[in-house]
C-alpha cells in the first residue's frame, strides 16, 4: 500500500523525469544522486504494481501506465492544494459551519439582523439557526450540537461564574403589561402591577423562564396572580388578552404583532425584565467565526431601543 507522503515524493520524481527527460537531469533538479532517483522509481513501480519505465537507447522513457498514473496524480495534487487553501480559510474564519440556537424573539430581533452583517463579512461561512429554549439549548451546546446559544437567565440555569461557558451579555428586555383596550386602566401612562391583583392572568409555562419572571413580578408587587391560561407563544398570549379580557406581561422584543383591541402599558417603578445573553463553550470564543458572530450580536443589541 502506498504511504501518502512517500508516494507524493516518488510521484514528484516521476513527474520530473517526464519533464526533464533523463535520470541525470532529474537527479540534478531534485538534489539527489542518479542511483537514488532510480531507487525511488523502482519502489514506486513495485507499489503500484505496473511497469513505469522502459529502456530507450542509453536512456529511459515513461510507459503509458506511468502517463496514466501522473494524470491521476495531477488531480490528487489539485485536490490537496484546494484542501490546503480551505484549511487556511477555515482557520481564518472564512469557511466553516456555525450552528446557533436561540428562542423565537431573539432570532427575529438579534440573530437575523446579525447574520446579514456576518454574511457581508464572511460570505463563505455556513450558518444554521435552530429555535431552542432553555434549558434544552444548553444540553445541545454541551453535546456540541450547537456552537452558540442566545438565552435568558432562568432558575436552575448557569450562573455568571460557571466555568463551562463564556457569556456575553446582550441586553435587558423589559416587560410591559398587555391588556384589553377597554380595560379601566388602559389610558394610564404607567401602571402598578398591584392594581391588577384581581385580574385574570395569562402566564408562560411554569417550567419556563418567562412564566417564572411574570410570577415573581406579581409576587414582588404583593399578590399571587389568578392564572387562567399558560402558553409560551407570545402571539397566542396577545390573542388571549384580546379574546378573554385577561392581562399579561409581555417582553418588549416579543411584542411585534400587537392585535387590535390590545394595548401595552409600561410597568411603574422597576419593570421586570429578562436578561438576554449569548453563551459558548469556554474557550470557543477565541475561534474566528464565533468571535465574529459575537461581535455582530453585540452591535445589533446595542442598536436596539427598548
Neighbours of 136 (CB within 10 A): 13
67-121: pLDDT as tens digits: 899 888 878 776 775 666 556 656 666 668 899 999 999 999 999 999 999 999 8
The domain ranges of the chain are 4-91, 96-170+275-303, 173-273
* Bond preceding residue 135 cis, omega within 30 of 0: yes
Residue 77 buriedness (CB in 10 A; 0-12 / 13-18 / 19+): middle
Residues in contact with 98: Cβ distance below 8 Å, sequence separation at least 6, in sequence order: 125, 126, 127, 128, 147, 148, 289, 290, 293
Class level of CATH domain 96-170+275-303:
alpha beta
Cα 248 to the chain's mean position, in Å? 33
pLDDT band at 43 (very low <50, low <70, confident <90, very high): very high
What is the CB-side half-sphere exposure of residue 207 using CA atoms within 13 A? 4
Which pLDDT does position 11 carry in this prediction? 87
Is pLDDT larger for residue 3 or for residue 56? 56
* Closest-CA residue to 59 (of 44, 38, 33): 38
Homologous superfamily of domain range 173-273: Periplasmic binding protein-like II (3.40.190.10)
250-301: pLDDT as tens digits: 999 999 889 999 999 999 988 899 999 999 999 889 888 899 999 999 999 9
pLDDT band at 1 (very low <50, low <70, confident <90, very high): very low
Say what the pTM is. 0.72
Neighbours of 223 (CB within 10 A): 15
Considering the domain delimited by 4-91, tell me its CATH architecture.
Orthogonal Bundle (1.10)
Neighbours of 146 (CB within 10 A): 25
* Strand bridging mode 226-230 / 200-203: parallel
Which pLDDT does position 89 carry in this prediction? 59
Amino acid at each position: 500500500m502506498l504511504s501518502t507522503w512517500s508516494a507524493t515524493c516518488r510521484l514528484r520524481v516521476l513527474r520530473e523525469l517526464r519533464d526533464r527527460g533523463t535520470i541525470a537531469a532529474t537527479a540534478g533538479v531534485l538534489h539527489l544522486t542518479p542511483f537514488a532517483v532510480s531507487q525511488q522509481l523502482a519502489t514506486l513501480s513495485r507499489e503500484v504494481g505496473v511497469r513505469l519505465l522502459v529502456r530507450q537507447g542509453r536512456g529511459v522513457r515513461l510507459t503509458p501506465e506511468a502517463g496514466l498514473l501522473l494524470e491521476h496524480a495531477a488531480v490528487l495534487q489539485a485536490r490537496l492544494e484546494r484542501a490546503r487553501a480551505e484549511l487556511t480559510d477555515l482557520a481564518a474564519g472564512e469557511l466553516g459551519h456555525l450552528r446557533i440556537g436561540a428562542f423565537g424573539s431573539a432570532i427575529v430581533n438579534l440573530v437575523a439582523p446579525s447574520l446579514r452583517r456576518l454574511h457581508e463579512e464572511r460570505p463563505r461561512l455556513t450558518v444554521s439557526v435552530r429555535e431552542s429554549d432553555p434549558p434544552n439549548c444548553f444540553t445541545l451546546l454541551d453535546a456540541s450540537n450547537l456552537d452558540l446559544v442566545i438565552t435568558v437567565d432562568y432558575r436552575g440555569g448557569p450562573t455568571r461564574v460557571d466555568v463551562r461557558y463564556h457569556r456575553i451579555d446582550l441586553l435587558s428586555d423589559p416587560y410591559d403589561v398587555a391588556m384589553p383596550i377597554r380595560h379601566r386602566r388602559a389610558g394610564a401612562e404607567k401602571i402598578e402591577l398591584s392594581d391588577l391583583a384581581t385580574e385574570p392572568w395569562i402566564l408562560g409555562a411554569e417550567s419556563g423562564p418567562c412564566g417564572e419572571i411574570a410570577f415573581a413580578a406579581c409576587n414582588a408587587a404583593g399578590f399571587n396572580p389568578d392564572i387562567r391560561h399558560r402558553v409560551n407563544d407570545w402571539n397566542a398570549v396577545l390573542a388571549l388578552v384580546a379574546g378573554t379580557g385577561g392581562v399579561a406581561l409581555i417582553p418588549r422584543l416579543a411584542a411585534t404583532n400587537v392585535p387590535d383591541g390590545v394595548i401595552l402599558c409600561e410597568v411603574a417603578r422597576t419593570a421586570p425584565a429578562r436578561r438576554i445573553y449569548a453563551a459558548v463553550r469556554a474557550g470557543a470564543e477565541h475561534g474566528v467565526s464565533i468571535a465574529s458572530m459575537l461581535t455582530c450580536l453585540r452591535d445589533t443589541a446595542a442598536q436596539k431601543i427598548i
